[in-house]
Amino acid sequence: MYKKKLAILGSTGSIGTQTLRVAEEHGDMFEVRVLTANNNVELLIEQARKFNPDAVVIANEDKYEQLRDALADTDVKVYAGSSALCDVVTMPSVDIVVSALVGFAGLLPTIEAIKANKKIALANKETLVVAGELITQLAIDNHVPILPVDSEHSAIFQCLVGEGDNAVDKILLTASGGPFRKMSKDELKGVVAAQALKHPTWSMGSKITIDSATLMNKGFEMIEAKWLFGVEPDKIEVVVHPQSIIHSAVQFADGAVKAQMGVPDMRMPIQYALTYPDRKPLSGERMDLFRLSVLTFEKPDTDRFPCLALAYEAAHRKGNMACIMNAANEVANLAFRRDEISYPILCDVIAETMQKVQYVALPSLDVYLQTDKEARRYAASLIH
Ligand code: NDP
Ligand code: MG
Between helices 306-317 and 321-337, what is the axis angle to 10°? Answer: 160
State the CATH number of the domain containing residue 354.
1.10.1740.10
For range 187-214, the mean pLDDT: 91
Q: How far apart are CA 90 and CA 85, in angstroms?
A: 9
Give domain status of residue 99, yes or no: yes
The residue whose CA is least distant from atom 26 of ligand 1 is 205
| Of residues 336, 384, 54, the one with CA closest to residue 212 | 336
Task: With cut-offs at 50, 70 and 90, classify the pLDDT of residue 312.
Answer: very high
Predicted local distance difference test score (pLDDT) of residue 215:
98
Task: Give the residue from 102, 123, 148 where a domain finishes.
Answer: 148
**C-alpha pair distances (Å), 379 with each of 207, 233, 326, 351, 353:** 17, 26, 11, 10, 6
d(CA 134, ligand 1 centre) in Å = 22
Write the burial class of residue 25 (CB in 10 Å: 0-12 exposed, 13-18 middle, 19+ buried): middle
pLDDT in tens, 216-262: 999 999 999 999 999 999 999 999 999 999 999 999 999 999 999 99
Q: Which residue range(s) make up the domain with 94? A: 4-148
The residue whose CA is least distant from atom 12 of ligand 1 is 10
Residue 324 sits in the same domain as residue 259 = no
The residue whose CA is least distant from atom 45 of ligand 1 is 38
For range 127-133, the mean pLDDT: 98
Residue 331 sits in the same domain as residue 223 = no
Residue 34 has pLDDT above 80, yes or no: yes
Predicted local distance difference test score (pLDDT) of residue 293:
84
Residue 15 sits in the same domain as residue 112 = yes
Is the bond preceding 200 in cis, omega lying within 30 degrees of 0?
Answer: no
Predicted local distance difference test score (pLDDT) of residue 1:
87
Task: With cut-offs at 50, 70 and 90, classify the pLDDT of residue 362.
Answer: very high
Residue 201 has pLDDT above 80, yes or no: no
State the CATH number of the domain containing residue 68.
3.40.50.720
Task: With cut-offs at 50, 70 and 90, classify the pLDDT of residue 203.
Answer: confident
Q: How far apart are CA 271 and CA 4, in angstroms?
A: 12
pLDDT in tens, 101-127: 999 999 999 999 999 999 999 999 999
Residue 200 has pLDDT above 80, yes or no: no
Task: With cut-offs at 50, 70 and 90, classify the pLDDT of residue 136.
Answer: very high
What average pLDDT does the chain have? 97
| Of residues 58, 62, 109, the one with CA closest to residue 80 | 58
Give domain status of residue 313, yes or no: no
Give domain status of residue 223, yes or no: yes
Task: With cut-offs at 50, 70 and 90, classify the pLDDT of residue 335.
Answer: very high
**C-alpha pair distances (Å), 257 with each of 150, 249, 260:** 20, 7, 10
d(CA 267, ligand 1 centre) in Å = 15
Q: How far apart are CA 100 and CA 47, in angstroms?
A: 16
* Nearest ligand for residue 129 CA: 1
Q: In what order do the strands lie in the sheet with 236-240?
A: 236-240, 168-175, 246-252, 257-261
Cβ neighbours of residue 111 closer than 8 Å, sequence gap 6 or more: 134, 135, 138, 365
Task: With cut-offs at 50, 70 and 90, classify the pLDDT of residue 143.
Answer: very high
d(CA 100, ligand 1 centre) in Å = 5
Residue 297 sits in the same domain as residue 162 = yes
d(CA 112, ligand 1 centre) in Å = 19
d(CA 150, ligand 2 centre) in Å = 5
Give domain status of residue 307, yes or no: no
Predicted local distance difference test score (pLDDT) of residue 240:
98
Residue 294 sits in the same domain as residue 348 = no
Task: With cut-offs at 50, 70 and 90, classify the pLDDT of residue 55.
Answer: very high
Predicted local distance difference test score (pLDDT) of residue 252:
98
* Nearest ligand for residue 202 CA: 1
Residue 178 sits in the same domain as residue 291 = yes
Among 21-25, 136-140, 290-294, the range scoring the smallest mean pLDDT is 290-294
d(CA 38, ligand 1 centre) in Å = 9
Substitution site in 11, 18, 22, 38 for ligand 1 pocket (most atoms within 8 Å of beta carbon): 38
For ligand 1, which residues put their CB under 6 angstroms from it? 10-16, 37-40, 59, 82, 100-102, 105, 123-126, 150, 202, 204-205, 207-208, 266
For range 172-185, the mean pLDDT: 96
Cα radius of gyration rounded to whole Å, the chain: 20
Atom of ligand 1 nearest to the CA of 59: 20
